Amino acid sequence: QVQLQQSGTELVKPASSVKISCKASGYTFTSNYMHWIRQQPGNGLEWIGWIYPGNGNTKYNQKFDGKATLTADKSSSTAYMQLSSLTSEDSAVYFCARSLRRVEDWFAYWGQGTLVTVSS
C-alpha cells in the first residue's frame, strides 16, 4: 500500500535552513506528483508546490518562491523540501501528499507531517 513516511521534528534557529524528507513506498515514485502543504499552528492548510520526481519538474505557490526548494532522489524514492532563511513565521507542520495520478487530482495520500519549530 502507498505510504509516505516523513522525517522527524526539527528545532532550528532563525536565519538558518532545514531540509525535511518524505520517503515513498508502495508505488512507482517517479510516476506521481508529490505536493507539499504547510499548516501553521492553529491555522489552515496552504499549498506550497509540487515536484514530479520522474523529471524533477517543479511548480511553486508564488508565496513560497525563494522560501521552499523541492527536490527528489529517485534512487531512494524520497522527496525533499528545503526551507531557507527561517523565521518564526515558518514554524509549522509540513505535510507531503501525493495526488492520485494527474497533477490536478486530489491529495489521495498524505504523510504524517513534520513539525518545524524556529526558535533561538
Partner 1 sequence: DIVLTQSPPLAVSLEQRATISCKTSQNVDNYGISYMHWYQQKPGQQPKLLIYEGSNLASGIPARFSGSGSGTDFTLTIDPVEADDIATYYCQQNKDYPYTFGPGTKLELK
| Residues binding partner 1 (CB under 8 A) | 35, 44-47, 59, 61-63, 95, 100, 104-108, 110-113
In this complex, which beta carbon is closest to partner 1, that of residue 75 or of residue 106? 106
In this complex, which beta carbon is closest to partner 1, that of residue 15 or of residue 45? 45
Least CB distance from residue 85 to partner 1, whole Å? 20
Least CB distance from residue 35 to partner 1, whole Å? 8
CA distance readout (Å), 61 to 25, 49, 65, 74, 94: 26, 6, 7, 24, 15
CA distance readout (Å), 55 to 11, 64, 90, 114: 32, 21, 28, 25
Torsion of CA 66, 43, 21, 34, to 10 degrees: -80
Least CB distance from residue 117 to partner 1, whole Å? 15
Residues sharing a CB contact under 8 Å with residue 39, sequence separation 6 or more, in sequence order: 45, 46, 92, 93, 94, 95, 113
Least CB distance from residue 73 to partner 1, whole Å? 22
Question: Is the distance from CB of 77 to CB of 25 less than 8 angstroms?
Answer: yes
In this complex, which beta carbon is closest to partner 1, that of residue 15 or of residue 108? 108
In this complex, which beta carbon is closest to partner 1, that of residue 64 or of residue 80? 64
